[in-house]
Structure 1
Amino acid sequence: MGGRVSVGPLCEDAAVGSAPSAPRQPDLLDGLDPEQRAAATAPRGPVCVLAGAGTGKTRTITHRIAYLVRSGHVAANQVLAVTFTARAAGEMRTRLRALGVPGAQARTFHAAALRQLRYFWPRVVGDRQWDLVEGKLRLVGQAAHRAGAGTEPEVLRDLAGEIEWAKASLVGPDDYPAVAARLRRDTPESPERVAEVYRTYEKIKNDARLLDFDDLLLHTTAALEEHGAVATEFRDRYRCFVVDEYQDVTPLQHRLLDAWLGDRDDLTVVGDANQTIYSFGGASPRPLLEFTRRFPEAVVVRLERDYRSTPQVVELANKVIGAARGRPAGSRLRLVGQRPDGAPPRFAEYDDESTEAAAVARRVRELLDAGVSASEIAVLFRVNAQSEVYEQALTEADIPYLVRGGERFFDRREVRQAMAALRSAAADAPAGPLVPQVRRVLAGVGLTDQPPAGGAARERWDALLALVELAEELAGTVDGATVGHFVGELEQRAAAQHPPTVEGVTLASLHAAKGLEWEAVFLVGLADGTLPIQHADGDDVAVEEERRLFYVGVTRAREHLWLSWALARGSGGRRTRRRSRFLYGLVPEDHPAARVPRGLPKATGTKARCRACNGPLMATLEIKLGRCASCPSNLDEDLLERLRAWRVERARELRVPAYVVFTDATLMAIAEQRPTDDRALVSISGIGATKLERFGAEVLAVVRGTEPR
């Protein structure tokens, strides 16, 4: 969505070539289970679909839209469906086209707002359209420099993230310090300094007449809220709204949705509170969980039949989420597997990460030899930095892979060449079947009958073949599709970054895997400190979000699921890591790694006790502090401030966020317990051998009140 914002139509897509004949009309309700059918045929009005992982939510909501259109309740072009990724929006458009309702709009929140802002800008602003900022780091860097904040790349990324969170949460610069303090946010600079960077960033951006992506939502909301004629025209145009992944809406997105709706209630929302994993960006499941409070007459349908995964994977997923604390009633979906039995999930423990990666590569090779496609295999990890060792292991095993979040498909040189060739051919293409014509054109840019042996040539060939497969899909859903129609489909997908499937094992973070699925999934690096991530420790809410992230990873697998962890990072390193606390109770009792390690927090083995009253400790923060929340604190405030100052200095030196050194909760525990030697220091939860070796002497020096160096 880069470039200049120009005036365009409110909702019409540019057509390429003449309109194809109408798609084939399937019987809409055939093949839907009773719950899916109930959701699809629910009366027009507020409908809430609580859809567990793998229960067919996209199928359900697209059939609902088609049913409302076929039944005459709404015209196709009066429907606006919004979701959170371009890929999900593209999938919805593909399915709606196959169901005979290509006129229904399916877009991301930002894409929908951009089109509306383009259309209404002359009336609400009047001057030239403002340009969109492709990436905000340059402007954030200028703002940070003026505000006296750090300008290292890591700091700028964290500052940009805080600005995005604040805008998504409807928090302005003046209110940011108080809100950040109330929510105990781990900020890259002091809250006051972040607020100054935020304020300066907004001034620089507005003076240059630029918009960032959050501004698209803010300005569109303002146009609808402050201009009655604009709101009237929009609400006359769109009558029916569908929101996918409703558990992930931010306060800003929800306010835009309210502006779209006005006083109407023709709204269908679909979501799963168990898959809320974007709280760091301002997302909240509260609107989903409180939907029936807002709309007491709403129809609520629960989808719990899992058609994606084997019963063995489903059982494990239920155990993962069933162990969550404080689950609200609206999130208590229990999946019921509908597929035939499969192999049980496999667990494995390794001495170090390279050994773990090599074992994963060997198992991937076994799956490939057994006939599983490389594109049906994924290796998922908590943080992107874990990708490197798996890239190396797969390369050594001569296994093709794709890093999700790497080079975009439509930016690849061979794909750009192919699209240029297809555009040239579209004008003179003779009548006839689409796929053979596409093959002939792509033969001119390198598509051969047989694939090359491997390497970069094979990657290029695979990309071209993916375009052929996309042409096959279009020909199968649209009668009489031509090369011109295919070019239009490709350009729409390129604009939405909705690529076709390319052969290669997927390497992706757990967050990037949301909404996707594979035949075989490897969940790797499942060690405490990585999952849950270290900076979540001490915060029960954050730890539970990490559990939901693990649940999302488990539910990506259809048939094969592998869970593994390493006890050390490098070969020959000290084996000080523990497997993730989320795995206890999941690993079979006869597994060599089933033993519960010593020193784990409560709920994974022994019960921790309060050092003041000897009562059991339940919450993660209580365990870290070593006392009940109700017992008096002996916190040394001066020591805590000295520790924080030391942490800021060390984080700057290491060029990492402050929480990577120690979390706030760990510093509080140190300031309460005031350890005097290594043994006392490592008794504090969150301080292991690695932390002791790296920071122990300095921390003890701070506690003693002497210089840490």
Structure 2
Amino acid sequence: MAKKKATEPRPKAKVTAKVAETKAKPEPKVQLKGLVEPKAHGQNFPAKATSRATLRASVKPAVKARAEDAPQVASTKVGTSVLNDSQRKVVEHGRSPLLIIAGAGTGKTLTLAHRTARLIVDGAPPDRILLLTFSRRSAESLLQRVAQICNESVSNDAEGGACAPARTKVWGGTFHATGARLLRSQGARIGIDPRFTILDQSDSEDLLEVLRTELRLAEVRKDFPKKGTCQGLHSGWINSGLKLDAFVNASFPWCKPHLDGLRKLFEAYAERKRSQNVFDFDDLLLFWNRLLAEPVAGPLIRKRFDCVLVDEYQDTNPIQSQILRQLCPDGQGLTVVGDDAQSIYSFRGATVRNILDFPKQFPDATVVRLEDNYRSTAPILDATNTIIRQVSEGFAKELRASRTGGQPPQLLACADEYAEARAVVDRIVRHQKDGVPLRQQAVLFRASHHSLAVEMELARRQVPFHKYGGLKFADAAHVKDLVAFLRLAENPMDLVSGMRLFKLFPGIGQKKAQGIMEEVIAAGGGLECLARSKVPAATAPSWDTFRSLLGTLTRTPSPSVTGQIDQVLKFLTPLVRQKYDDPEQRIEDLNKLRGLGERYEDRSAFLAELTLDPPSSTRDFATAGAREGDKDALVLSTIHSAKGLEWEAVTVINATDGGIPSARSMESAAQLDEELRLFYVALTRARTWLTVTYPRYRSSPQASWGGFDQPTLTRFLPARIRRLFESRNA
């Protein structure tokens, strides 16, 4: 890959307006607030999947400093003496557009928190500051830091200034949640009913499958794309801003023969969503963008905020970029933070162009680089700095280690994937004996199936592990069952939720469930018509109880969120015991969901939260202290799910061409650049020990001789870079 240093990215302006995604009840420190009409003053992986506890005394990393260990400010008026020079420039910057290129482990969150606090001290009303992140948990964490800094500043300032109310008034949330919030409050101006419900990815797939069947597309062409492919194609198309045929040609060329059928399917999908008053994730951005263009609502929303701060800007997509340009046309008050070297989500519609072109979009933008790394040792950074220079375009940066000493990263050649697995587990056990907890070690891989041999070896040697990158808690069938009750009560036109509920009853299948739900829709969402539904004899005994439950849930005023969940659990618990394996664990999951409901004052806020920012597992409901007390276990994770995390010891496996870069992502320079960035993200998760492994032979049913093929070491480690590693044979 040709090496090409990026010149200063040309200013590109985009403000991502994120409004508090939910109306959560006040927490002790930070409250995320909902958007309201402006007053006269002018909506993978657990955030802390691994513990960051200090190592036992027997482990002696070169230095203990890390990003979050950077000193906290305790000086008057949010002092900056404890920050490094680059961080201080960020904090003291005025209101002109600001782009922060924050390298891995450089204290980005601390810096952004200090900048937010400084804006408040300098006179920005906290309730006119909008902080946009990519998860609610990230927003809460950052706002807690802002509150802490402001509280410390107040304790050193008799007057307290504007910092005092910061902890309860700064806005925070995600793009999608902000869109949902704005559309509920202002969407009537563009014809949106604020009582809409939101489809998650699997719900969107289910609705597309209903329409795919109605249109008989698979009968005409047996190879017509399945529902998952249709959903992914539709989402990518919407976020790309391209015409359908252009997008299919570029990203799904094998679907070109089905273009006419896909067009019919997507037209029917848009109409069905409109008629049932449901939105998918992409609609929240699409209609928010339209709302900002509306002559009355657009200016109203723009005037609502003086300062907008956007985290993880490299992960935004073209529609989010358009939203930002409409929200902050001249870039005043706009701060975006990100790292082009960690842009790895193009499969979700994100584009690295947004961050690279920011200076072009905003010619008066200031670019500040954070390059002092508080995470990794110098030998690790020497290797990763050299590796990322191979990217064809990017902001030039050189991460500098704050830690001294350290071992060079290891490159381990193994006979085959089974020898690789044994060598990996040997190292893990050795680290554990030396005092590194399993939870502070991770094995990372490009695709989930790459870890199968390692999982087998771990099981054989009875080493506990957690694997991330699979099914999320909110996608589990029993969780979706409970949520469907609340969604149908919130929006009786919701076809997917209604069908899911009806199919819980014996004798009701897909066709019967759809027929009943069509009767409800024909009645304008009147659930009373269920009394006239002809249901199978096996269902009749519980049907009246079911209708009574729906009546309770739709009553005005409705019970509290926990009250509604309690009512559903009384009805659902016997069905869970009849329908699912391991029912007691599933019931425990549902009770934990009830605990989450205690935070919300209304059902729509709870449903929005659960759909837009779902917990990855039941561990997400636990406090940080409770998570620390979990059984010590190794972390296995896809690289995508590991972004933003760190461990003392990291092993990256299957570093081969076809592994990383993936065999499916080697057709263009842009694809290879993203694969290189993905490899870089994996390597920069390591604090003290980094190992990269690869097999010389690999079993393969496609191999022409002996059932093995001979993979080559990843192209991202050419000879000149391998000199920075300590190479060994397993």
TM-score (norm 2): 0.63
Deviation digits for residues 504-541 of structure 1, max 9, x if unmatched?
A: 32221111222222111110111111111112223222
Letter in 1 for 2:322: R
The answer for the alignment partner of 1:587 in structure 2 is 722
| Equivalent position SS for 2:296 | helix
In the alignment, residue 93 of structure 2 is paired with which amino acid?
A
Q: Which has the higher contact order (CA 8 A, sep 6+)?
A: 2
| Counterparts of 2:89 and 2:259, CA distance in 1 | 51
Cross-structure match for 2:489: none
- Other-structure match for 1:578: 712
1:608 equivalent in structure 2: none
Find 2:439's aligned residue among 368, 371, 375.
Answer: 375
8 Å contact from structure 2 (residues 100, 367) kept in 1: yes
* 1:189 CA displacement: 5.1
Residue 225 (str. 1) matches residue 293 (str. 2): yes
Is 1:318 paired with 2:385? yes
Report the Cα offset of residue 312 of structure 1.
0.9
**More off after superposition, 200-209 vs 360-369:** 200-209
Please point out which of 40, 49, 67 is paired with 2:91: 40
Say if 1:39 and 1:191 are closer, same or farther in 2 by CA, change over 3 A: farther
Q: Percent identity?
A: 31
Task: Tell me which residue corresponds to 2:543.
Answer: none
Deviates more, 1:118-127 or 1:521-530: 118-127
Paired residues, number? 517
Is 1:351 the equivalent of 2:415? yes
Contact 2:440 2:649 in 1 (8 A): yes
1:554 maps to which residue? 683
Of 239, 248, 266 in structure 1, the residue corresponding to residue 306 of structure 2 is 239
Change (3 A) 1:87 1:155: farther
Please tell me whether the aligned partners of residues 19 and 132 of structure 2 are also in contact (alpha carbons under 8 angstroms): no
- The corresponding residue for 2:246 is 178
Contact 1:80 1:104 survives alignment (8 Å): yes
Q: How does 1:65-464 map to 2 (within 5 A)?
A: 65-72=116-123, 74-100=124-150, 101-102=166-167, 103-125=169-191, 127=193, 129-134=195-200, 135=202, 136-145=204-213, 146=215, 148-149=217-218, 155-171=226-242, 175-181=243-249, 183=250, 185-188=252-255, 190=257, 192-193=259-260, 194-226=262-294, 228-263=295-330, 265-324=332-391, 326-328=392-394, 331-406=395-470, 408=472
Q: Structure 2: which amino acid aligns with 1:397?
A: R
Do 1:177 and 1:191's aligned partners in 2 also have CA atoms closer than 8 Å? no
SS at match of 2:716: helix
Cα distance in structure 1, aligned partners of 2:140 and 2:644: 12
- Separation in 2, partners of 1:517, 1:213: 29
Return the offset for 1:556: 1.1
The 1:321–1:348 alpha-carbon spacing in structure 2 relative to 1, beyond 3 Å, is same
The amino acid of 2:663's aligned partner reads Q
Change (3 A) 1:542 1:367: same
* Cα distance between partner residues in 2 of 1:12 and 1:582: 40
Q: Does the CA contact (< 8 Å) of 1:141 and 1:151 recur in 2?
A: no
Q: Given the alignment of the two structures, is residue 26 of structure 1 paired with residue 74 of structure 2, yes or no?
A: yes
Is the CA contact (8 Å cut-off) linking 2:96 and 2:365 kept in structure 1? yes
Deviation at 1:187, TM superposition (A): 4.3
Deviation at 1:36, TM superposition (A): 0.5
SS of equivalent to 2:711? coil
- Tell me, in whole angstroms, the C-alpha distance in 2 between the residues paired with 1:309 and 1:564: 19
> Equivalent residue of 1:301, what SS?
strand
Partners of 1:18 and 1:247 in 2: how far apart?
30
1:509 aligns with 2:638: yes
Question: How far apart in 2 are the matches of 1:50 and 1:590?
Answer: 27
Does the 8 Å contact 2:97/2:331 carry over to 1? no
1:123-144 Cα deviation digits (max 9, x unpaired): 5436462221132111222344
SS in 1 for 2:398: coil
AA at the equivalent of 1:399: V
Judge conservation of contact 1:96–1:104 (CA < 8 Å) in 2: no
- Unaligned segments of structure 1, at least 5 residues: 1-8, 416-455, 467-483, 595-709
- Compared with structure 1, are the counterparts of its residues 353 and 308 closer, same or farther at alpha carbon in structure 2 (3 Å cutoff)? same
* d(CA) in 1 for partners of 2:343, 2:443: 21
State the shift of 1:487 in Å: 13
- Give, in whole Å, the separation in 1 of the partners of 2:285 and 2:30: 36
* Distance in 1 between residues matched to 2:24 and 2:688, nearest whole Å: 40
CA distance in 1, matches of 2:386, 2:697: 27
Q: Which residue identity is paired with 2:97?
A: P
- Aligned Cα root-mean-square deviation (Å): 4.0
CA contact (8 A) 2:131 2:172 kept: yes
Sort the Cα spacing of 1:19 and 1:543 in 2 relative to 1 into closer, same or farther, 3 A: closer
- Measure the CA separation in 2 of the matches of 1:287 and 1:311: 31
| Structure-2 change in CA distance of 1:359 and 1:494 (3 Å) | farther
Per-residue CA deviations over 1:384-434 (Å, capped at 9, x if unaligned) read 222333333222232222222346579999x9xxxxxxxxxxxxxxxxxxx
Q: Kindly provide the amino acid, as one letter, of the partner of residue 292 in structure 2.
A: L
CA distance in structure 1 between the aligned counterparts of 2:651 and 2:640, rounded to whole angstroms: 15
SS of aligned partner of 1:531: coil
Change (3 A) 1:383 1:147: farther
**Deviations 1:79-135, CA, capped at 9 Å, x for gaps:** 112123444334323323333332322222112212222222345436462221132
Aligned residue for 1:54?
A: 105
493 and 365 in structure 1: CA distance in 2 versus 1, 3 angstrom threshold: farther
CA–CA separation in structure 1 for the residues paired with 2:27 and 2:646: 35
Output the CA distance in 2 between the equivalents of 1:196 and 1:558.
51
Q: Which whole-Å CA distance do the structure 2 matches of 1:26 and 1:224 have between them?
A: 40
Quickly say closer, same or farther: Cα 1:144–1:14, change in 2 above 3 A.
closer
Provide closer, same or farther for how the CA distance between residues 397 and 212 of structure 1 changes in structure 2, counting only shifts above 3 A: same
Alignment-derived partner of residue 691 in structure 1 = none
